[in-house]
Amino acid sequence: MMEFRIDDMSCGHCVGMVTRTIKALDPQATVDIDLAKKTVKVESRADRAGLSEALAEAGYPPAPAEPG
């Protein structure tokens, strides 16, 4: 399971676009979005870098991963 923080998500349209972007890369992906926390949890065979790049190209760049 991968988790992304997407600070630019602010509405239902954003949620739909993020979901469609992920599903375009992996139609079998499971996507769980918490708009209030601006987080996206993804279970996918696509790699993190590919998902991050696709999200950024769609206008929803993930925030850098926090060290930890």
pLDDT tens digits along 21-59: 999 999 999 999 999 999 999 999 999 999 999 999 999
Total domains present in the chain: 1
Confidence of residue 64 (pLDDT cuts 50, 70, 90): confident
What's the pTM value of the predicted model, to 2 decimals?
Answer: 0.90
Q: Does 45 fall in a domain?
A: yes
Q: In which domain, by residue range, is 27 found?
A: 2-57
Dist CA 41 CA 44 (whole Å): 10
Is residue 21 one of the residues assigned to a domain?
yes
Tell whether 63 is covered by a domain.
Answer: no
Distance CA 35, CA 68 (A): 23
Residue 62, Cβ density class (10 Å: 0-12 exposed, 13-18 middle, ≥19 buried)? buried
Helices and strands in the chain, H and E counts: 2, 3
Would residue 68 count as lying in a domain?
A: no
> Domain containing 41 — which CATH number?
3.30.70.100
Asked whether residue 66 is domain-assigned, the answer is no
What's CA 65's distance to the chain center, in Å?
13
